[in-house]
Amino acid sequence: PLGPLVRHGDDEWGDVVRWTLNALIAAEELGITSANIGELSAAAGDNPEVNRLLGTEGNLGEMLGLDADWAVKAVQAGGNYGELFEKNIGENSPVGLARGLNAQWTDGGLLYSPPFR
């Protein structure tokens, strides 16, 4: 599968771009959407991976040079990976593309995100 591309030598920006894509993919897998992220990010829950993704636990944002809620802002801006796919090129868009291999690995596709640890 293809992934995001950034200018050679811009490693910090590359990290931000890759981890933002990973966050959007992980959000979809974890059931986090633009509709429920506000409620989920209001307080830490029982799932450590969700907490790390939402910035209520850990310091991934800091390691990337971003705010703790960077992934929350990304999902709020347009939705998780599935929401963005559907809005822009999905079956109900003018492009009309089926998810196919762009689906989560749990749904027969190739998408997965490394764990947020």
Domain ranges of the chain: 11-107
User: Rounded to an integer, what distance in angstroms lies between the CA atom of residue 116 and that of residue 48?
Assistant: 9
The stretch 68-97 carries a mean pLDDT of 97
Q: Which pLDDT score is estimated for 116?
A: 86
User: Rounded to an integer, what distance in angstroms lies between the CA atom of residue 40 and that of residue 86?
Assistant: 22
Q: Which pLDDT score is estimated for 68?
A: 96
User: Rounded to an integer, what distance in angstroms lies between the CA atom of residue 101 and that of residue 79?
Assistant: 19
- Per residue in 7-58, pLDDT (tens digit) is 999 999 999 999 999 999 999 999 999 999 999 999 888 999 999 999 999 9
Q: How many CB atoms lie within 10 A of CB 86?
A: 15
- Per residue in 101-110, pLDDT (tens digit) is 999 999 999 9
Q: Which pLDDT score is estimated for 45?
A: 87
User: Rounded to an integer, what distance in angstroms lies between the CA atom of residue 117 and that of residue 101?
Assistant: 26
24 contacts 37 by C-beta, under 8 angstroms: no
